[in-house]
């Protein structure tokens, strides 16, 4: 699947400390790469393209864009994979509601997603893979799981993964069983279906139902389950174990728990990811932002209103990535004023030296992506520059490259 155009990421002098991120599995910060590593790998769960990119999506992909930018600043080779769940129930439901073909809907919304990410200066993944593309991989993996005893066929033909077959199951989320059952019911599972070995067992392969699409595979005709799709794409493009598995906090369970369990059962290696990183939810004017409430704020809508994508990005970085936080017009207005100050400062012919600001930005990002602290460091430099200009002719360019390279904000306008 085609990706979007990559923005220029300038090289900066020096290097920062090792990036440490909060690991959901251990509940504590940990280094994202091993000592002496030359490569860093990351898998981030992508969209189900039944609708446009909302601000929750944007906040998540900006977060992991910052991770990739920081790794590159350290001189690491970054290997980043992201999926698109372009065959799934929500897509079928929206297509049926709108009277359109599910494939046409998926292609249209995926194209809009790429446009939004490009506008937000998100560096594209190295591997941008659709679920349909992954079907041959999934079919082979499901057959392997059946042969090894990690999966079984339901009486009605669907194939399920046996959570009881993996001793490490539960170690990513650390939720108790009651919580797992509740989230499974709320987030696409079927814990009440009779005939399963365990109510938590997730579906791996759906046999054909009604008019839904299906494909031939080693386990018969059907289509993939959600979790196995991500496991197979990550294993194929990144390897048996990765450095960071990322996504929104609503993916901790069942999605990330299950996809990690699938990968571990396929490879015999645990844990699947060294660090599990999750972003908070974005609300709108004091309410949860959700499809069911009909209050999703879309990036494309803001862009159509003439909002500068750099201001959208800045507003989403004003809070810490792990915090549930609110989107308001006041937040956007503050970001627009901040962006204006930064652009005015870097447009000066001379400024106060920017080396300390670069170091502070690196230091704050290395500490679990403390974006509020990083933005404050740029604010301090910009405020001092606008107050007395300074006499360093190289400082405006270094500041512009720092802001653009580390934070992804275009200050060249």
pLDDT at 210: 85
**Residue 32 — φ and ψ, nearest 5°?**
-85, -15
Distances (CA, A) of 225 to 103, 216, 245, 247: 18, 15, 19, 18
Q: Measured between alpha carbons, how far is 127 from 193 in angstroms, rounded to an integer? A: 35
User: Would the pLDDT of 37 be above 80?
Assistant: yes
Q: Measured between alpha carbons, how far is 377 from 17 in angstroms, rounded to an integer? A: 17
Exposure string of 264-275, with b = 16+ CB inside 10 Å and e = fewer, is: bbbeeebbbbbb
User: Would the pLDDT of 204 be above 90?
Assistant: yes
317 and 120 Cβ atoms separated by less than 8 Å: no
Q: Measured between alpha carbons, how far is 55 from 358 in angstroms, rounded to an integer? A: 28
Residue 225 DSSP label: -
Tokens of 142: 């499901």
Residue 367 DSSP label: B
User: Would the pLDDT of 1 be above 90?
Assistant: no
Helix and strand totals (H; E) in the chain: 13, 14
pLDDT at 289: 67
pLDDT, mean of residues 84-89: 91
Beta-carbon contacts of residue 187 (< 8 Å; ≥ 6 apart) = 250, 253, 254, 255
- Three-state helix/strand/coil letters over 125-192: CCEEEECCCCHHHHHHHHHHHHHCCCEEECCCCCEEECHHHCCCCCCCCCCCHHHHHHHHHHCCCCCC
Residue for token digits 């000066």?
A: 348
339 and 311 Cβ atoms separated by less than 8 Å: yes
Taking only the tens place, the pLDDT of each residue in 335-373 is 999 999 999 999 999 999 999 999 999 999 999 999 999
Q: Measured between alpha carbons, how far is 261 from 272 in angstroms, rounded to an integer? A: 8
Q: Measured between alpha carbons, how far is 162 from 142 in angstroms, rounded to an integer? A: 12
User: Would the pLDDT of 293 be above 70?
Assistant: no
283 and 326 Cβ atoms separated by less than 8 Å: yes
Taking only the tens place, the pLDDT of each residue in 163-187 is 999 999 999 999 999 999 999 999 9
pTM above 0.85, yes or no: yes
Taking only the tens place, the pLDDT of each residue in 211-268 is 889 999 999 999 999 999 999 999 999 999 999 999 999 999 999 999 999 999 999 9
Question: How many percent of the chain have pLDDT more than 70?
Answer: 98
142 and 205 Cβ atoms separated by less than 8 Å: yes
Give the count of beta carbons closer than 10 Å to the beta carbon of residue 211: 7
| Rg of the chain taking only CA atoms, in angstroms | 22
User: Would the pLDDT of 292 be above 80?
Assistant: no
Q: 254 preceded by cis ω (within 30°)? A: yes
Q: Measured between alpha carbons, how far is 389 from 4 in angstroms, rounded to an integer? A: 38
Question: How many percent of the chain have pLDDT more than 90?
Answer: 90
Q: Measured between alpha carbons, how far is 179 from 257 in angstroms, rounded to an integer? A: 13
150 and 166 Cβ atoms separated by less than 8 Å: yes
Taking only the tens place, the pLDDT of each residue in 113-134 is 999 999 999 999 999 999 999 9
Beta-carbon contacts of residue 231 (< 8 Å; ≥ 6 apart) = 141, 259, 260, 262, 263, 266, 272
pLDDT at 290: 66
388 or 339, higher pLDDT: 339
Distances (CA, A) of 107 to 51, 133, 146, 158, 234: 11, 13, 33, 27, 22
């Amino acid at each position: 699947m085609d990706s979007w155009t990559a923005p220029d990421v300038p090289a900066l002098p020096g290097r920062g400390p090792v990036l440490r991120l909060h690991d959901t599995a251990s509940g504590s910060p940990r280094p994202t790469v091993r000592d002496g590593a030359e490569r860093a790998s990351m898998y981030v769960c992508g969209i189900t393209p039944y609708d446009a990119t909302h601000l929750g999506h944007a906040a998540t992909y900006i977060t992991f864009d910052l991770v990739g930018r920081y790794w590159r600043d350290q001189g690491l080779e970054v290997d980043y994979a992201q999926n698109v769940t372009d065959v799934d129930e929500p897509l079928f439901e929206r297509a049926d509601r709108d009277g359109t073909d599910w494939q046409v809907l998926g292609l249209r919304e995926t194209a809009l997603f790429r446009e939004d990410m490009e506008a937000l200066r998100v560096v594209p993944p190295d591997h941008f893979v659709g679920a349909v593309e992954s079907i041959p991989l999934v079919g082979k993996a499901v057959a392997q799981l059946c042969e090894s005893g990690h999966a079984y066929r339901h009486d009605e033909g669907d194939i399920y993964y046996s959570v009881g077959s993996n001793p490490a199951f539960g170690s990513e989320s650390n939720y108790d069983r009651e919580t797992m059952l509740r989230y499974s019911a709320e987030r696409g599972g079927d814990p009440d279906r009779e005939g399963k070995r365990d109510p938590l067992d997730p579906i791996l392969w759906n046999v054909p139902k009604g008019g839904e699409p299906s494909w031939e595979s080693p386990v018969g005709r059907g289509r993939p389950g959600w979790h196995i799709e991500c496991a197979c794409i990550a294993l194929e493009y990144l390897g048996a174990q990765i450095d960071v598995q990322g996504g929104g906090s609503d993916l901790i369970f069942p999605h990330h728990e299950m996809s990690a369990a699938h990968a571990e059962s396929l490879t015999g290696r645990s844990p699947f990811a060294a660090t599990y990183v999750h972003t908070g939810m974005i609300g709108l004017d004091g309410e949860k932002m959700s499809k069911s409430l009909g209050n999703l704020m879309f990036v494309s809508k803001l862009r159509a209103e003439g909002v500068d994508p750099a201001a959208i990005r800045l507003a989403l970085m004003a809070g810490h990535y792990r915090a549930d936080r609110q989107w308001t017009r006041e937040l956007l207005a503050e970001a627009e004023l901040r962006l204006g100050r930064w652009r005015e400062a870097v447009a000066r012919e001379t400024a106060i030296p920017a080396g300390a600001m670069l170091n502070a930005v690196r230091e704050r990002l290395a500490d679990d992506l403390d974006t509020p602290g990083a933005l404050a460091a740029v604010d301090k430099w910009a405020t001092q520059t606008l107050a007395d200009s300074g006499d360093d002719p190289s400082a405006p360019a270094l500041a512009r490259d720092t802001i653009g390279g580390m934070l992804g904000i275009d200050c060249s306008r």
